[in-house]
Homo-oligomer: A and B are copies of this chain.
Amino acid sequence: VAAAYHALAARAARMSRTNLITLLTDFGLQDPYVGVMKAVLLRHCPSARIVDLSHAVPPYDTCAAAFWIERVFGWFPEETVHIVVVDPGVGSPRMSIAIRAHGQYFVGPDNGVLSGVFACDAAAEARRIEPNALGLPPPSRTFHGRDAFAPIGAQLAAGSLPFESVGAIVPSLSGPVLPVAVESASGVIGQVVTVDRFGNAITNLELPSAGGRYEVRVLGRSLRIVETYADVAVGEACALLGAFGTLELAVREGYAATAIGVVPGTPVELRGMA
């Protein structure tokens, strides 16, 4: 009984790992690509708990994916494995990488989508994924999500592959794809990064922690910064601090991106007021 008990306890201990894996892709939910990735994840980590962050990143939009993973990972517990697959260069010689940063893991292509997560942790470490060296079959040329990122991510989540064994250390990554807001003569100029389901235009502009009064300038018009949608009339445009820490352009109960006329990339300026 004791041996059986210990086996059972070991099993319980393994199950008490977080085993949390998130997926952020541009695969859509129309085809079974994501479902097949989950088959692979569950094969390599049967106790995985899988959270879909989004599969509706606009096709090939590495910038939106970079924004979301940077803004979202902090909500997950230590040891969570984030698999990010927005990968216009699949099949080209770009590297596949795994990163340990912020106490979590990030797996995806080295095309800039994970470079921001890497850059903002001085202790971050990146390693090159080489599927053959890890005993995996050669990946298909078009679906590294299934053939490289899923098995490695799942083994990291299961604890069956130590991070140190993933592959050689990569000292520096591709340049980041997410633009950074820059200071201007009159304030800070950023841009619309993505438009959400409600039509809110989410920017890369943060509010200075020092406080002070500000306005937002976009396409020649001025928007006041409010605390919540309910502070403006139905249909009125405004800017407000979104739930992930950056300014959003919004229209109460309306679709702001169309109403204001912005798309990803449209410049937005934050200006101090007298």
8 contacts between A and B (CB under 8 A): A8-B8, A27-B197, A29-B55, A30-B54, A33-B197, A34-B52, A90-B229, A92-B228
Min CB distance, A53 to chain B, in Å?
4
- Tell me the nearest residue of chain B to A48, going by C-beta: B49
- Tell me the nearest residue of chain B to A38, going by C-beta: B51
Min CB distance, A100 to chain B, in Å?
19
- Tell me the nearest residue of chain B to A255, going by C-beta: B59
* Contact of A54 (CB < 8 Å), options: B35, B68, B142: B35
- Tell me the nearest residue of chain B to A197, going by C-beta: B28
Min CB distance, A111 to chain B, in Å?
12
Q: Compute how far the CA of A209 lies from the CA of B155 in the bound complex, rounded to whole angstroms.
A: 33
Contacts of A196 in B (CB 8 A): 28, 30-31, 33
Mark each residue of chain A from 1 to 32: 1 if its CB lies under 8 Å from any CB of chain B, else 0. 11011001101100000001010100111111
B-facing residues in A205-231 (Cβ within 8 Å): 227-231
* Contact of A77 (CB < 8 Å), options: B43, B88, B89: B43
Number of copies of this chain that the complex holds: 3
Asked whether any CB of chain B lies closer than 8 Å to the CB of A183, the reply is: no
Mark each residue of chain A from 37 to 77: 1 if its CB lies under 8 Å from any CB of chain B, else 0. 01110110000010111111001100000001000100111
Contacts of A40 in B (CB 8 A): 75
Min CB distance, A247 to chain B, in Å?
12
Min CB distance, A151 to chain B, in Å?
12
A39 touches B54 (CB 8 A): no
Contacts of A228 in B (CB 8 A): 90-92, 141-142
- Tell me the nearest residue of chain B to A228, going by C-beta: B91
Q: Compute how far the CA of A5 lies from the CA of B4 in the bound complex, rounded to whole angstroms.
A: 9
Contacts of A92 in B (CB 8 A): 228, 230
- Tell me the nearest residue of chain B to A139, going by C-beta: B243
Min CB distance, A71 to chain B, in Å?
8
Q: Do A75 and B230 form a contact, CB below 8 Å, given A29-B55, A59-B198, A142-B243? A: no
Contacts of A242 in B (CB 8 A): 142
Mark each residue of chain A from 237 to 261: 1 if its CB lies under 8 Å from any CB of chain B, else 0. 0001111000000000100000000
Q: Compute how far the CA of A53 lies from the CA of B52 in the bound complex, rounded to whole angstroms.
A: 13
Contacts of A5 in B (CB 8 A): 1, 4-5
Asked whether any CB of chain B lies closer than 8 Å to the CB of A127, the reply is: no
